[in-house]
Amino acid sequence: MISGVKLPNQSRRLFALPAAFLLILLATAQPSALSPEVVTLVKAGRLLDPRTGNVLSPAAVLIENGRVKEVGSPSRVQADAPAGVKTIDLGNATLLPGLIDSHTHLLLDVIVPTEVESARRFNGDFVPDLLLAIVESPSKRVLLGAQLAREDLESGFTTVRNVGHSGIDGDAALRDAINAGRLTGPRILASGRKLIALGSYIQSLNPAVAETILRQEFLVIDSPDRARQAVRQNVFYGVDLIKVALNDDISLPELKAVVEEAHRQHLKVAVHAPDAASIQTAIEAGADSIEHGNDVTDEQLKIMRDKGIFIDITPTFWSGFFSKISQPIIVMSPALKSRLAASDDRRRQRVASFTQRILKSGVKFAAGSDMCWFYPGKTRGQASATIFANLHDAGMPSLDIIRAVTTSAAELLGWQDRIGAIEPGKFADLVAVAGDPIAEIAELERVRFVMKDGRVIRNDLGH
């Protein structure tokens, strides 16, 4: 561990090198990868503690070497600050912990196809762009990911969990570049290649190139032994977690083998499980989180609560999302517009019930954007931030939404000792909004100040 950041496996091997060589490596590291401004004092009109819902007003945060040292009233904290401390005064703004997106796809930017193309291809909305991404060079994908990661950070997402569609090691490489200070972006937990059953995402490829194409994006499992091997292959590239896409195509013994091997490697397992059958398999296999979980039953929620399994809500298509990203860039027939409107209405009813059942069940939950789509007129961060309004429209109270992307998300990631709250010892990841996010959750779509590791990324409020 360095400054609380988990190093990939290959980086850990550095500590087996001679001490003199290590000193040379550290001496030649980029200055941006070393300590930030030593001491900074951030003052604001309010500070929200998501865990309790309490508000400290006025508030001050003393930051030293990239971590929170003290939180309290400005008079008390300022008295403990050293002479000449750099002060950032955010006026009447509200401070919150840095936001966490627990379900991202930073190396994918799907453009909605035309109505004709969508109708004439298998899974014509998503797969054509996915294939295009796979056959492009890994360098292009990582450069795209660097841009989208920066945009996420500028919208307040200081930590993200990337769960697939990154090529073989694109998200791990992006994570390492950010950690080394070569790029500016959020703290990333990388999952590498997604584990799938054959035919889960892409079907009927040219047999001459099918296996090669699949290996660039996925690890195919068809037995417990291959499941264990797939985990080890991802571990070779230094992943932080394992992601499995589960429908009705991976058996319980196969998924158990994934979970056992991942846990042996001290990695969590996130399982894409949309329907009740796949959710049950994930529960019985001992998954750490259920991603999406759209058709989860009340009984399954109870079991998940008792076992401590998270449900990671992904409100991507709630509140008419597909219509919003389609209308600006494609010509739609009246029939398609009508179908989308009817689908939006049905979805609103389902997600309202889904949200209320989760809240009543007591199950642990976080929220992720699942954002992999090009949203006309918005940066990736702005597109990801639409989840806040979507959750609120489905009936989730503002404080629960904020917890889902701070304290609860930190626990889902296993990083509750480092992020998710503004507390002494944790990373100095702070965001600020001009108003009150409890009264108006849309304030989180208008983040005005972002700090990561004690460094100011954006400041539209103070000096």
32's CB contacts (< 8 A; 6+ apart) are: 181, 182
For 279-309, write each residue's pLDDT tens digit: 999 999 999 999 999 999 999 999 999 999 9
Q: What pLDDT was estimated at residue 37?
A: 56
325's CB contacts (< 8 A; 6+ apart) are: 112, 373, 374, 375, 376
Q: Give me the CATH topology for the region 99-413.
A: TIM Barrel (3.20.20)
Cβ atoms of 216 and 134 within 8 Å: the answer is yes
Reduced to 3 states, what is the DSSP secondary structure of residue 27? helix
Mean pLDDT of the chain: 90
320: left (phi over 0), alpha (psi -120 to 50) or beta: left
Cα distance between residue 360 and residue 83, in whole Å: 50
Strand pairing report for 218-220 and 194-196: parallel
Q: What is the assigned CATH class of domain 35-97+423-459?
A: mainly beta
Q: Is 435 exposed, middle or buried (0-12, 13-18, 19+ CB in 10 A)?
A: middle
The yes-or-no verdict on residue 19 having pLDDT over 70 is: no
Q: What pLDDT was estimated at residue 31?
A: 42
**CATH 3.20.20.140 placement within the chain:** 99-413
Other CB atoms closer than 10 Å to residue 393's CB: what's the count? 17
Eight-state DSSP code of residue 6: P
Cα distance between residue 459 and residue 88, in whole Å: 9
For 240-254, write each residue's pLDDT tens digit: 999 999 988 999 999
Report the share of the chain in percent with pLDDT over 70: 92
For 69-92, write each residue's pLDDT tens digit: 999 999 999 999 999 899 999 999
Tokens standing for residue 315: 């409100």
Which of the pair, 132 or 378, is modelled with greater confidence? Answer: 378
Q: Rounded to the nearest 5°, which phi and psi values hold at 136?
A: -75, 165
Which H or E element spans position 191?
A: none
Taking the CA of residue 447 as centre, how many other CA atoms within 13 Å lie in the half-sphere pointing to its CB?
A: 28
Cβ atoms of 109 and 144 within 8 Å: the answer is yes
Average pLDDT over residues 398-403: 98
For 144-169, write each residue's pLDDT tens digit: 999 999 999 999 999 999 999 999 99
Label residue 26 by pLDDT band (50, 70, 90).
very low
Other CB atoms closer than 10 Å to residue 180's CB: what's the count? 13
291's CB contacts (< 8 A; 6+ apart) are: 103, 163, 243, 270, 271, 272, 273, 312, 314, 368
Q: What pLDDT was estimated at residue 203?
A: 83
Cα distance between residue 98 and residue 42, in whole Å: 14
Distance of CA 285 to the CA centre of its chain: 23
Taking the CA of residue 422 as centre, how many other CA atoms within 13 Å lie in the half-sphere pointing to its CB?
A: 32
Task: Give how far Cα 106 sits from Cα of 7, 37, 431, 447, 453, Å.
Answer: 20, 29, 21, 20, 21
**CATH 2.30.40.10 placement within the chain:** 35-97+423-459
Other CB atoms closer than 10 Å to residue 339's CB: what's the count? 12
Which of the pair, 201 or 345, is modelled with greater confidence? Answer: 201
Q: Rounded to the nearest 5°, which phi and psi values hold at 242?
A: -115, 135
Q: What pLDDT was estimated at residue 145?
A: 97
